[in-house]
Amino acid sequence: KEVTNDDIVNDATITTQVVTHGLGTKGQRYSPLTQVNTETVKDLVPAWSFSFGGEKQRGQQSQPLIFDGKMYVTASYSRLFALDAKTGEKLWKYEARLPDGIMPCCDVINRGAAIYDNLVIFGTLDAKLVALDKDTGKVVWRETIEDYKAGYSFTAAPQIVKGMVITGNSGGEFGVVGRVDARDAKTGKLIWTRPTVEGHMGQKFDKDGKPSDNGISGKTNATWPGDLWKTGGAAPWQAAYYDPDTDLIYIGTGNPSPWNSWLRPGDNLYSSSTIAINPDTGKIVWHFQGTPHDGWDFDGVNEFISFEYNDPKTGKMVKAGGKADRNGFFLVNDRTNGKLINAFPFVSRIDWAKGYDLKTGRPMYNDDKRPGNPFTEGGGDGQKGEVVFAAPSFLGGKNQMPMAFSPKTGLFYVPANEWGMDIWNEPVSYKRGAAYLGAGFTIKPLYEDYIGSLRAVDPVSGKIVWEVKNSAPLWGGVMTTAGNLVFYGTPEGYLKAINATTGEEVWQFQTGSGVIAPPVTWEENGEQYIAVVSGWGGAVPLWGGDVARRINTLEQGGSVWVFKLHKS
Ligand SMILES: O=C(O)c1cc(C(=O)O)c2c(n1)C(=O)C(=O)c1cc(C(=O)O)[nH]c1-2
Ligand SMILES: [Ca+2]
């Protein structure tokens, strides 16, 4: 049995499979399954668990895929396992041979694979894409995304759109050039490439592999000073999502390089933005920049999730997209043209801006919360600019962990964090393959009793309907179901189920290590299964400053847990 384009496009409603990152290419992470619900969830028990084994127990962020009774799940250090979805028995394993010089910024993680035809496709930390025969694990094709020696890496899950495999890249902390690529999923052959730093030309390739210019005409590096666009970052380091209705690919772009914004006056397009790309031409149809001239590492890579709502004033249905931006604001845009409709905080404290002007779509900055200019304040070269305290911290109101949207409740379920940072700027110059920040920082908690908070967010009213606080920062994705449940994991090791309308906790299970990955669900032979990967790691223990010290008792791991209802 092979994965077809129909399987991909209809993944959100076919309950026997999970073949896309996001439980559907729109990324809503909503399942229509109801067997496990607010009444029955108390009988949810483990069906099996599988250990990734070895000495490589680092951060595990993979969203499993399910097809034809098999689970495909990636693990730290660019590994991929095929398992029997019912028993957990290992069918095969692929382990990439990684060179010594890989430079992922934030742990040796991977967020999952894509599956198409007879292939399971995933990216490796040395910035390669590998397509494996889904039944045997044999390599069918392998392509280099970019040179890992220049700081490129790959951590996201690829997404399949119209038979193409869509990928971005990582490396924003090394002055790479962000790029979205579309390849023929069956052969790996490049179809188009779209850099995400203004000034760089896109290319489309014809059947013979001949490039045609697909550039950003007339706007060459206008929003960057001098040569800075050549190493401008804006890495789209998370999954792309696709809405068949608008026929647009939505992907977020990361921080401009370097972090020190005094070196690059201007908006620095298309960094810290949502961009919408036409899948047939590779052209940017619209862009919305959440943090123009980002000076806080507010990578805007957070997922842009298509959803509909009825405008309370006109009663008309609006084709919208929601994004819990790392900068602390929940942004709602018209997903046909990018126009900003609504912007409101989903965290308790935002220092860098007062809000957005909905007419211009631009933030209203608080200039005194931009770290000081080291060239005018500190006496010039080699000096440190003024330190400012600003919330959210650069690890964000929300980071890599994807939120979920329930069409049933109309709410987004956002894994948010409350923290701030001391941040300052320093001089820096670009050196290939070296960190390119020009900034120093210490992350600090805002509150004694919690950092994480799962929040039910109404995208229309801008209200937080309920929240469940968590001591450690939340770092795992969310799933919601027609059983009126919200599932999410915690660094303390719990997978939890929450009543989607009331916020009441109705179930929890201790997985043995921190959960920083998104859960999935499917059904087989009339039984509903729920799976999540467990294994603490990612950016928090590496970059988390005072927060990392507060939670340094958490243990690493590496396993998949699968649950179903206990039959009495
Ligand atoms: O700019 C980039 O290219 C880039 C890539 C990644 C990544 O690939 O994981 C992260 C970040 N930035 C980043 O800023 C960040 O906070 C972060 C956290 C994590 C993680 O997996 O826990 N990755 C990344
Ligand atoms: Ca970054």
pTM over 0.90: yes
Tell me whether residue 155 is annotated as binding: yes
pLDDT given for residue 377 in this prediction: 64
| Single-letter code of the amino acid located at 430 | Y
Supply the range of the domain harboring residue 23. Answer: 5-49+59-565
CATH number, domain with residue 355: 2.140.10.10
pLDDT given for residue 567 in this prediction: 83
Instruction: For a ligand 1 pocket test, name from 106, 271, 326, 401 the mutation site with the most ligand atoms within 8 angstroms of its C-beta.
Output: 106
Cα of 60 to ligand 1 centre, how many Å?
Answer: 14
Asked whether residue 85 is assigned to any structural domain, the reply reads yes
Asked whether 472 and 494 are in contact (CB, 8 A), the reply is no
Listing DSSP states for 497-543 in one string gives EEETTT--EEEEEE-SS---S--EEEEETTEEEEEEEE---SHHHHH
Cα of 253 to ligand 1 centre, how many Å?
Answer: 11
User: In sequence order, which residues have a C-beta less than 8 Å from that of residue 387 and are 6 or more positions away?
Assistant: 371, 372, 422, 423, 424
pLDDT given for residue 218 in this prediction: 47
Cα separation, 563 vs 449, in Å, equals 31
Asked whether residue 510 is assigned to any structural domain, the reply reads yes
Asked whether 412 and 404 are in contact (CB, 8 A), the reply is yes
Asked whether residue 228 is assigned to any structural domain, the reply reads yes
Task: Give per-residue pLDDT as tens, 319-341.
Answer: 999 999 999 999 999 999 999 99
| Beta strand residue intervals within 370-484, DSSP E | 388-390, 404-406, 411-417, 419-425, 439-445, 452-457, 464-470, 478-481
Cα separation, 91 vs 96, in Å, equals 17
Cα of 15 to ligand 2 centre, how many Å?
Answer: 35
| Cis peptide, bond prior to residue 279, ω within 30 of zero | no
Instruction: For a ligand 1 pocket test, name from 237, 270, 301, 443 the mutation site with the most ligand atoms within 8 angstroms of its C-beta.
Output: 237
Backbone angles phi, psi at 140, to 5 degrees: -100, -45
> Which residue's CA is the nearest one to ligand 1's atom 18?
539
> Which residue's CA is the nearest one to ligand 1's atom 24?
106
Asked whether residue 418 is assigned to any structural domain, the reply reads yes
Ligand 1 residue neighbourhood (C-beta within 6 Å): 61, 105-107, 109, 155, 170-173, 235, 237, 254-255, 297, 299, 395, 399-400, 538-539
C-alpha dihedral (301, 246, 488, 341), degrees to nearest 10 = 70
pLDDT given for residue 375 in this prediction: 86
pLDDT given for residue 215 in this prediction: 63
Asked whether residue 54 is assigned to any structural domain, the reply reads no
Domain count, the chain: 1
Instruction: For a ligand 1 pocket test, name from 174, 299, 421, 551 the mutation site with the most ligand atoms within 8 angstroms of its C-beta.
Output: 299
Please report the sign of the dihedral spanned by the C-alpha atoms of residue 217, residue 221, residue 226, residue 227. negative
Asked whether residue 401 is assigned to any structural domain, the reply reads yes
Tell me whether residue 194 is annotated as binding: no
Cα of 2 to ligand 2 centre, how many Å?
Answer: 36
Active site residue ranges: 297
C-alpha neighbours within 13 Å on the C-beta side of residue 231 = 23
C-alpha neighbours within 13 Å on the C-beta side of residue 266 = 20
Tell me whether residue 525 is annotated as binding: no
Asked whether residue 40 is assigned to any structural domain, the reply reads yes
Asked whether residue 17 is assigned to any structural domain, the reply reads yes
Residues of the chain with pLDDT under 50: 217-218
